[in-house]
């Protein structure tokens, strides 16, 4: 199957949806239903499932397919659904993309294969080989902290001729890199640039980027949607106010001592709000009572829980 590009760049806040679990290989189906409606009610512009925040690489292929089924069916084209297909296996990425297309998803997100880091010439070859085989528009995912390799600007330039690529999701946390991608997409006007780090989203949008794939929008979607619109309008006073709230919200990510704390914090917050279970994909485990108490305290300070 040949991928087709979206007619317009995808814009706005697209939460990297958490995967609510109730057991080792069991979706919290009721919680997932509530979570989807929660973020849609908050005005988000799309959903990205099976990404880093969605714990995709820790989930069985069976559960990933179930997640695709349930999300696409419930969303029912109200907003675009992007599906993460990153894998160490070329064939598994292709097959997951085909499955996402069969369930009427709108695009796929693909990071470089992790574990054995590829050189930039190898990445160019990989992208040139796999993109024509993916059944949906492809957003290239730059996540060097986890994949151990960056999608260098020269690499993006070399693959920009591929019609199946719809844009870039950048989670490098480097604003200078994002600025260079913005310059590149002036030459590829159908490409989208979406950034992961929440504190950079406003800056990137003001520079000409298209939005954010912000984990915090799982919990407080209205905050990030408001920030996106204020950034489009250049409302500096409002941006400063909202940025302070985003920074205060970010205290959730400082609880605990490991990289998993970010996902634990978000899942715990959703559990405190009564939206979904906070069960983590193994080998990780939910916060214990002391950490949960800290999460509740942060939510109360932000008026997300009653005081």
Asked whether 172 and 150 are in contact (CB, 8 A), the reply is yes
User: CB of 210 within 8 A of CB of 190?
Assistant: no
Give me the pLDDT at residue 238, please: 97
What pLDDT shows up at residue 3? 41
**pLDDT for the residue 183:** 94
Q: Identify the burial level of 142 via C-beta atoms within 10 angstroms of its C-beta, where 0-12 means exposed, 13-18 middle and 19 or more buried.
A: buried
- The pair of structure tokens assigned to 155 is 């690499």
pLDDT at res. 1: 37
Is the pLDDT assigned to residue 269 strictly greater than 50? yes
Average the pLDDT over 41-51 and give the result.
Answer: 98
208 pLDDT band, cuts 50/70/90, is: very high
* Lookup result for tokens 């520079």: 207
pLDDT single digits (tens) 86-121 = 999 999 999 999 999 999 999 999 999 998 889 999
Q: What's the average model confidence in pLDDT over 227-248?
A: 97
Arithmetic mean of pLDDT, 211-227: 98
Is 306 a residue whose pLDDT tops 90?
A: no
Residue 17's alpha-carbon distances to 27, 36, 37, 186, 205, in angstroms, are: 13, 8, 12, 29, 21
Q: Which pLDDT band, with edges at 50, 70 and 90, does 2 fall under?
A: very low
**Tokens describing residue 245:** 């709230």
Region 277-296 average pLDDT: 96
Q: What is the mean pLDDT of residues 280-284?
A: 95
Q: What is the pLDDT of residue 36?
A: 98
Summarize the confidence of residues 160-168 as an average pLDDT.
Answer: 95
Q: What is the spatial distance between Cα 56 and Cα 49, in angstroms, rounded to a whole number?
A: 8
Domains by residue range for the chain, with CATH: 12-235 (3.20.20.70)
**So what's the pLDDT on residue 25?**
97
Q: How confident is the model at residue 5 (pLDDT cuts 50, 70, 90)?
A: very low
Nearest-angstrom CA–CA distance, 298 and 156: 40
pLDDT averaged over every residue in the chain: 95
Work out the percent of the chain whose per-residue pLDDT is above 70.
97
Q: What confidence category does residue 289 fall into, taking pLDDT thresholds of 50, 70 and 90? A: very high
Q: pLDDT for 170-196, tens place per residue? A: 999 999 999 999 999 999 989 999 999
What per-residue confidence (pLDDT) applies to 4? Answer: 41
Considering Cα of 93, then 125, then 159, then 149, what sign does the dihedral take? positive
Grade residue 257 by pLDDT with cuts at 50, 70 and 90. Answer: confident
- E-strand stretches of 148-249: 165-170, 192-195, 211-212
pLDDT band at residue 258 under the 50/70/90 scheme: confident
* pTM of the predicted model as reported, rounded to 2 decimal places: 0.95
């Amino acid at each position: 199957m040949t991928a087709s590009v979206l007619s317009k760049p995808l814009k706005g806040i697209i939460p990297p949806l958490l995967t609510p679990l109730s057991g080792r290989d069991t979706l919290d189906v009721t919680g997932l239903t509530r979570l989807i409606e929660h973020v849609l009610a908050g005005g988000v512009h799309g959903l990205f499932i099976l990404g880093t925040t969605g714990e995709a690489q820790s989930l069985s292929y069976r559960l990933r397919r179930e997640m695709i089924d349930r999300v696409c069916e419930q969303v029912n084209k109200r907003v675009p659904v992007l599906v993460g297909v990153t894998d160490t296996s070329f064939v598994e990425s292709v097959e997951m993309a085909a499955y996402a297309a069969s369930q009427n998803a709108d695009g796929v997100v693909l990071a470089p294969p992790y574990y054995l880091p590829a050189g930039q010439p190898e990445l160019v070859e990989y992208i040139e080989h796999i993109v024509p085989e993916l059944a949906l528009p492809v957003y290239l995912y730059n996540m060097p902290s986890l994949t151990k390799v960056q999608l260098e600007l020269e690499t993006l330039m070399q693959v920009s001729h591929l019609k199946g690529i719809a844009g870039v999701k950048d989670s490098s946390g480097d604003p200078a890199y994002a600025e260079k991608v913005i310059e590149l997409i002036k030459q590829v006007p159908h490409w989208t640039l979406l950034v992961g780090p929440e504190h950079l989203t406003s800056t990137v949008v003001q520079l000409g980027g298209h939005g954010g794939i912000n984990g915090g929008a799982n919990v407080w979607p209205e905050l990030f949607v408001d920030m996106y619109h204020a950034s489009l309008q250049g409302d500096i006073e409002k941006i400063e106010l909202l940025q302070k709230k985003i920074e205060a919200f970010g205290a959730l990510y400082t609880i605990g001592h490991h990289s998993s704390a970010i996902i634990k914090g978000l899942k715990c917050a959703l559990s405190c709000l009564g939206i979904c279970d906070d069960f983590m994909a193994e080998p990780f485990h939910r916060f214990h009572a002391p950490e949960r108490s800290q999460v509740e305290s942060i939510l109360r300070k932000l008026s997300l829980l009653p005081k």
